[in-house]
Amino acid sequence: MDGILAVWKPEGWTSHDVVAKVRRVLKMKRIGHAGTLDPMVTGVLPLCLGRATRVVEYVQERPKSYEAVLQLGIATDTEDLTGTVIESRASISVTEAEVRQALTGFIGEIDQVPPMYSAVKIDGKRLYELAREGKTVERKSRKVTIHEINLLDFQLELDQPRVTFSVVCSKGTYIRTLCVDIGKALGVPAAMAHLTRTMSGGITKESCLTLEQIEELQQAGKLNSHLIPADEAITHLERASVSESIGRLALMGQKVGLAHSNIHLDNMRNEQLVRLYNEHNSFLGIFQIDFVSAVFKPIKVFSA
């Protein structure tokens, strides 16, 4: 079984729990997920099955989208409502215009400090391990990109208002931290109340199956038809085609001359990755442009 299985992760499950469950249902070990979700978070979790595990790292590089509920007036040690409250303030007063202005201020490349309750490693130890020991350590900020952010709903009349927004962001963005930083921009404590991932690897909710549906379809022998081909999740890579005979060489892991492909090289850069196909539209693998040797170098070959 090869391809990408789009799972709708339920609340209360870790990403590892989902992988373990699907491994038992499918009776196969070669499964990897493309992007961890915290237990309280629901939404799109692409699972790469079989040979599709070879594209996990490329799927993870693509932007992701979320819908988040921001709680104003409360700050916690985990930056979401699962943590211990470290500050609480009532009678928060903000306007819709102020909220919109605050959100807009985060569009583009921003600096983010990873939260203590995260899987980032410092000196060989995960931050959440240190946090559970009651320790706080200095973390370096990281560059992330907010491609798009939109206000969806708000309850500003509450003592501790709630704001719902959607966001499209780069890999490595912590939405919990974004919520805290939006609160800071508004001059109030804040935490993430709820989060749903609505898109990952170009896969949306409409393509997702629940764990119950996966089990039913597998028992009925119909799950294969719901798998997404591996190359459909990496369409951010440029596409190139070669003849069937040249494609056979590529499938053997050989370098392929750039001149044998149909790709326009004017806009390409050295060491750029491409999806390579044969003339019958069969996916051959991920190859890298080498202008010095004028070849495509094999990176991940998808031989039969």
Q: Supply the residues annotated as catalytic.
A: 38
d(CA 257, CA 247): 11
Q: Quickly tell me which residue has 């939109």 as its tokens.
A: 150
Long-range contacts made by residues 27-36, C-beta under 8 angstroms, separation at least 24?
A: 28/1, 32/56, 34/4, 34/59, 34/60, 34/200, 34/201, 34/233, 35/59, 35/60, 35/64, 35/171, 35/197, 35/200, 35/201, 36/119
Q: Tell me the C-alpha distance between 227 and 63, whole Å.
A: 21
**CA-wise closest residue to 77 among 141, 134, 139:** 134
Phi/psi of residue 283, nearest 5 degrees? -75, 125
Amino acid at 243: S
- What is the phi/psi pair of residue 80, to 5°? -135, 180
| Burial grade of 133 (CB within 10 A; 0-12, 13-18, 19 or more) | exposed
Residue closest to 137 by CA, chosen among 154, 164, 168, 115: 115
**In contact, 188 and 89? CB cutoff 8 Å:** yes
